Amino acid sequence: MGKRITIALRTDLGVEECLRRLREASDIGEWTIFSFSGYKGSKPVLSKFNGNEFKLWKRRYYRNSFAPFFFGNLSREERGTRVEGRFGMDPYVKGFMIVWLSLAVVFSSPIFFSTLAHPIHGDDWTGILIPAGLVCFGILLPKFGQLIGKREERYLREFLETTLAARIDESGLVLSARVIENKPL
């Protein structure tokens, strides 16, 4: 469900200062029923932290489960900090869509193929259109949500660059071999 875009930034700030700035510039992503966005606070970026790992996403006043999250990691370097991360979908949404598409294919395939096996009369078209529609919906809805959320990736990248006084790391070094997990914090 989408390609993984890994980015690397470099800043002269220490890891602790980076964490402090990120916490200060964002609201902790805690649900509340007394907010139009569904989260506590009013800052445009929401966050969750686990040690040097963090997850950032843009506050929205509409629902888009397929919008990007930034899953990042801060690592100490000789002079400063390296920020590595990637944009991706919420792992729970990704899991739900995999289950949805699997079930749609498993349960609608027999209907689809049995309808095609016989001459089509009257309302038999529903045996073709509904199964195909379920699968297409399961593929196109995430793509549409990601398209709507494309600007959020740029916003979050600029947020990181500004907040951490960071720049794209063009040192030519290979990104760390450590896998950046797409797991809930």
Q: Are the C-beta atoms of 15 and 75 separated by less than 8 Å?
A: yes
Instruction: Kindly report, residue by residue over 67-122, the tens digit of the pLDDT.
Output: 899 999 999 998 899 999 999 988 899 999 999 899 999 998 888 888 888 887 77
Instruction: Kindly report, residue by residue over 116-134, the tens digit of the pLDDT.
Output: 888 877 787 888 888 889 8
Q: Which residue has the tokens 């509904």?
A: 130
Q: Which residue has the tokens 């309302």?
A: 123
Query: Percentage of the chain with pLDDT > 90?
Result: 43
CA angle, corner 9, sides to 3 and 13, nearest 5? 150
Q: Are the C-beta atoms of 29 and 103 separated by less than 8 Å?
A: no
CATH number of 5-89+151-168: 3.30.310
Q: Are the C-beta atoms of 132 and 112 separated by less than 8 Å?
A: yes
Neighbours of 10 (CB within 10 A): 18
Q: How many residues does the chain have?
A: 185
Note the pTM of the prediction, 2 decimals. 0.77
CA angle, corner 85, sides to 82 and 86, nearest 5? 155
Considering only CA atoms, give the Rg of the chain. 21
Q: Are the C-beta atoms of 156 and 45 separated by less than 8 Å?
A: yes
Instruction: Kindly report, residue by residue over 120-174, the tens digit of the pLDDT.
Output: 777 878 888 888 898 999 899 999 988 888 899 999 999 999 999 998 887 645 4
